[in-house]
Each structure stands twice: as C-alpha cells, then as structure tokens.
Amino acid sequence: MKLSTAIQVILTFAFAQSVHAQAEEWGQCGGIGWTGPTTCVAGTQCVVENDYFSHCIVVATSSASSSSVSAPSSTPSSPASACSTPSTVSGFNNAALPNPFTFNDGTPVLTASDWTCRRAQIAALIQGYEAGTLPGPPQTLTSTFTQSGTTGTLAITAANDGPSFTFSQTITFPSGTAPAVILSHISTKIAVLSYSNSNMAEQNGATSRGGGLFYNLYGTDATASAMTAWVWGVSRIIDVLETTPAANINTQKIAVTGCSRDGKGALMAGAFEPRIALTIPQESGSGGDACWRLSLYEQNSGSVVQTATEIVTENVWFSTNFANYVNNLNSLPIDHHLLAAMIAPRPLISYENTDFAWLSPLSSFGCMTAAHTVFQALGIPENHGFEQVGGHAHCAWPESLTPSLNAFFDKFLFGQNVSTDEWSTNNVFNGVSWNASDWINWTTPTF
C-alpha cells in the first residue's frame, strides 16, 4: 500500500473535516490575511510574532514577588520584532552541521520566541542559497468549487496585472457521515486532494527550468526553483480553501505527503507553509530529509548516493545559485536538518527505505537526528518521528509502518491522546559508520 493513490507521480495532500473553533497550541491565531480562528485553547495565549503571524503558545507568568534579570550582554536574545533575516552569511565555514541554536551573528537561541526568529533566518538562508525567492500571494486570487458525490473540483485563478493562469485540484471525499480526517487507504474517513505539482513547475530534467504555470505569472527568470514554486501553489490552495466553506474543509488540519521527488517537495512545503498541520515525506533522500554534508560523507566512504553536485545537474528542484556552493558545502550556513527543523513545533514524520543506497540512508538518519534536537529543545520530541526500514520497492508502503502513521494521524489530526514516540532505524548504512559527535557539535538547550 502506498501513502496515497497517486503518491508516485504527484504531491498529494489531504484535509480533515472536523471543526475547531479555537486554534490549538502552536496553531496560528492571527496575522495579515488570516481568516482562521483568533482565539486559543485553554492554557495558551495568542502571541504576535510579526505582522503576518501570531500563534498560540503557553506563556509563563511570574509571581508578584519575583524579579526579572536581563541576560548578559554577551548572550543577547533576539526577539522576532528585531529579527535580522539576510539571505547569505559572509565568511561561513563549517564542516559539521550548522548549529540550529545560534543566530547568524553567533549569539545563542535562548527561548521559544528566539526560535521563531531563528526559523525566519533559516527560511531566508534556504531561499538565498538553494531554493530561490518564494513570492507571496498574487494580486488577485479567485476560485470556484463544485462537487458531485464524493468528488470535488477546486479551480483556482491567480493573476498579476496582465498574466494569469487557472489550475484545478480534485478532492476525493469520504463516503458516509463519519468525520473526515486525512489521507490514503488506511482509513475510509478521509479527504484527499491531489496536487499536480509538475504542472505548477516542470521537473523534466535540467532543461525544464522556468517551465510551468508559476513561471507564466512570475517570469521564466524568476529565481524560485521548481520546489519553491510547488510551495507557492500549496499556499494558494490553502488560501482559497480558507474562504470556500462549501468545500467543508478544516484548514486547521491539513497534511502534506509525497514520495521520492515529491517527498522532497512535501518536506519543503511543510517547512515554508505554517498552516500545514502534519508533514509526511516518504523516501525523499538527498534534497529531502538527508543532509548535503552527510551525503557527501557517504559518497566519500564508498557508497553510491545522490549528492549536491549530482542533483543540480539532474533536475531543477533547486535554484541556479545552489550550483555555486555544491563543491564547497562547508560554506553553506544551512543544511537540511535546518529545513526539517523549520517545521517545529508542528509535527513531522518521515519514512526512509534502506534498500536503496541512492537515497543516502545514513544521511537521512543523521540529518533527522540533528533536526530532532530542535523538537527536544521545544519540549515536544513526540512531534517528530522517523522510521527507516527495507524490504520493499521504492515508494511502496510496508504494512509494518502503518501503526506509526496511524499514531500521528490519531494524535495530530483526531486529537487523540496516543503515543507518537516513533523513532527507529534498521542501521543498514552500507558499511558507513555514524558518529553523532562528528556532525552534531552543539548542546541542546531547554526553552
């Protein structure tokens, strides 16, 4: 069984249909253009991080007798309101994985609010070095929704001055009256939206750069890579679903998934679109949940894996600028543990297949181990899962993985009190050794 009926060829994501009047902990509760809930569940407060994003977090309170002490000037905190987000860092040089708990200027990340700023820094750096610029919404965005039986069609038109295009998505709703949750053949209580990401931005090899609907709107010379264009399309789908009550979609319960190249896209979408509630990349490998530095280490250790130098010649998933850095990875202030960490505190579970060395199995395990430290710092390690097995074809779905996937569905989409302590590997790394201290040289703080 696969994660969805079209997982091999499209980026598929699906939506729950239960209704929540309040945003849950870490959920969005405000911001320019936000049309969702503006109040938070008990025990949390809606905290403004910037003009475009507010979220529900637990705010510590001090008693009347307590006093506050400023942090030493040598280790200042950097609130989101004063967050500097350059697209490059001059003079960076680090053979190990970059520290998620250090700001660009070298000062430490001390609080959950600091992490919001650090996340914004990482987002800017990923765009600057490997993904290209992610535009905001177009000048106009309209849609129509029709439904016949259990099949709906969502047609979206985007326009900037003269240029415009229309793209359509099919939504398959569950039959009966049970609350829809999400995704695949694991449950009949599902709604699945199939996203034709290759129409949004082509991925037919190195010569397809600038092809697809996105570039009709932003020009063939737009810096956005194909995957960045896919993320833009995901956001536009969510935009219109938020204002399409006829579709009966709960936009607080959106999940995104895909396999192989579409798994790379699913991870990128989950990282850059904060309205995605659950991210599930499958066998995304290099360019997905694997780290560039670790994949190169695997290659240098004798494994035949996909590396940064290969991927920029294979397809247009990354920006043209990335090619300037693939031969000197130490100069990158980012790697994909930081891409995955951008999803925190929202939940993420990724699946890898050790039967295919090309996917860089050690790199995926090590990279997600590094990303996991951010979830630990935020006090939510159960929001991050990783499962790595073999014994099946690429993008097939072994039944042994179903319990872990169901656990993430039940907790983060159904709201059930279940364990999501899902972290395992079969340690099949093709003779390449893993020593965490060689790559993860930071101490994980507690926010």
Q: Which residues are CB-neighbours of 393 under 8 A, at least 6 positions away?
A: none
User: For 45, how many CA atoms within 13 A lie in the half-sphere containing its CB?
Assistant: 7
Contact 352, 285 (CB under 8 A): yes
CA-based end-to-end distance of the chain: 40
Residue from 196, 198, 260, 350 carrying the catalytic annotation: 260
Query: What is the Cα–Cα distance from 47 to 30, expressed in whole angstroms?
Result: 9
- Tokens 């570039």 belong to 215
- Report the length, in residues, of the chain: 447
What tens digit of pLDDT does each residue of 343-380 get?
Answer: 999 999 999 999 999 999 999 999 999 999 999 999 99
Per residue, what are the HEC states of 396-428?
CCCHHHHHHHHHHHHHHCCCCCCCCCCEEECCC
Query: What is the Cα–Cα distance from 406 to 193, expressed in whole angstroms?
Result: 19
SS3 state of residue 61? coil
- CA separation (Å) from 412 to 26, 48, 269, 345? 12, 23, 18, 12
**260 given a catalytic annotation:** yes
Which residue type, as a one-letter code, is found at position 105?
A: D
Q: What is the dihedral of CA 231, 197, 167, 222, to 10 degrees?
A: 60
Residue 98 is classified by DSSP as: P
What tens digit of pLDDT does each residue of 103-136 get?
Answer: 999 999 999 999 999 999 999 999 999 999 999 9
Query: What is the Cα–Cα distance from 364 to 352, expressed in whole angstroms?
Result: 8
User: Strand order in 28-30's β-sheet?
Assistant: 28-30, 53-57, 45-50
SS3 state of residue 270? helix
Flag whether pLDDT at 329 surpasses 90.
yes
The H or E element spanning position 262 is helix 261-272
Dihedral sign, Cα of residue 40, residue 182, residue 415, residue 266: negative
Which two tokens mark 50? Answer: 């910037």
Which two tokens mark 62? Answer: 């001090």
Query: What is the Cα–Cα distance from 337 to 355, expressed in whole angstroms?
Result: 22
Q: Percent of the chain beyond pLDDT 70?
A: 81
Least confident span in 174-178, 211-215, 245-249, 360-364:
174-178
Q: Count the helices and strands in the chain (H runs, E runs).
A: 10, 13
Tell which CATH architecture fits domain 180-191+250-438: 3-Layer(aba) Sandwich (3.40)
Query: What is the Cα–Cα distance from 114 to 267, expressed in whole angstroms?
Result: 23
Q: Enumerate the CATH 3.40.50.1820 domain ranges in the chain, comma separated.
A: 180-191+250-438
* Bridge partners, residue 164, by sequence: 159
What tens digit of pLDDT does each residue of 186-218 get?
Answer: 545 668 899 999 999 999 999 999 999 999 999
Least confident span in 20-24, 98-102, 176-180, 201-205:
176-180
Instruction: State the pTM of this model.
Output: 0.84
Q: Which residues are CB-neighbours of 380 under 8 A, at least 6 positions away?
A: 344, 345
Strands 348-353 and 45-50: unpaired
* Bridge partners, residue 351, by sequence: 282, 387
Contact 228, 131 (CB under 8 A): yes
Which two tokens mark 407? Answer: 């656990």
Residue 288 is classified by DSSP as: T
What tens digit of pLDDT does each residue of 397-430 get?
Answer: 999 999 999 999 999 988 899 999 999 999 999 9
**337 given a catalytic annotation:** no
